[in-house]
Amino acid sequence: MELNSIKPAAGSKRARRRVGRGIGSGLGKTAGRGHKGQKSRSGGYHKVGFEGGQMPLQRRLPKRGFKSASLKYNAEISLTDLERLGAAEVDVLALKAAGLVGELAKVVKVIKSGELTKKVALKGIGATAGAKAAIEAAGGSIA
């Protein structure tokens, strides 16, 4: 086989439709555009979503709902989650490994929800004022 002998499979390529090339082609005179009207004229068409002057659907429907992209990167864990984890030192990687926060999480914060009895050292994790007090009361620390 040579590069100059390569051809596409039979029937896989079709000739492009040549419109406006005479009556014998089947697409002469109006070239498949019909008679009169905006769509038959050159340069005559309307933008996507245009409904002939009627208020378009995307403007008739109410605007609602928004999901912040930062939700993917920010995560919260509770004191109860820290208690269940049972690790002496906790960082973001340990929380990801335990499945407590998502893989995309970059910022993690501990909230005061539940009780903490074990001593826990947090590294690179934030905490609310109430959670910080609870962690320090249990003998833990936040770095």
Q: Is 110 helix (H, G, I), strand (E, B) or coil?
A: strand
Pair (35, 82) in one structural domain: no
Tokens read off for 97: 């490994």
Residue 110 lies in a domain: yes
What is the model's pLDDT at position 85? 87
Which residue has 């109430």 as its token pair? 130
Tokens read off for 24: 């014998």
Task: Please state, in angstroms and rounded to a whole number, the distance separating the CA atoms of residues 82 and 138.
Answer: 12
pLDDT in tens, 120-139: 999 999 999 999 999 999 99
Tokens read off for 80: 């109860």
**Which of 46, 59, 100 is CA-nearest to residue 78?**
100
Pair (41, 84) in one structural domain: no
Pair (78, 137) in one structural domain: yes
Pair (85, 37) in one structural domain: no
Q: Which range of residues forms the domain containing residue 137? A: 73-142
Percent of the chain with pLDDT over 70: 100
Task: Please state, in angstroms and rounded to a whole number, the distance separating the CA atoms of residues 105 and 71.
Answer: 9
Farthest-apart Cα atoms in the chain, separation? 93
- pLDDT greater than 90 at residue 71: no
Residue 90 lies in a domain: yes
Looking only at the bridges linking them, the beta strands covering 89-90 and 121-122 are parallel
Pair (77, 41) in one structural domain: no
Residue that terminates a domain, selected from 10, 30, 47: 47
Sign of the C-alpha dihedral, residues 22, 26, 27, 28?
Answer: positive
Pair (81, 27) in one structural domain: no
Task: Please state, in angstroms and rounded to a whole number, the distance separating the CA atoms of residues 85 and 134.
Answer: 16
pLDDT in tens, 13-37: 999 999 999 999 999 999 999 999 9
pTM: 0.52
Pair (42, 78) in one structural domain: no
Tokens read off for 58: 């995307």
pLDDT in tens, 85-123: 888 899 999 999 999 998 999 999 999 999 988 899 999
Pair (79, 138) in one structural domain: yes
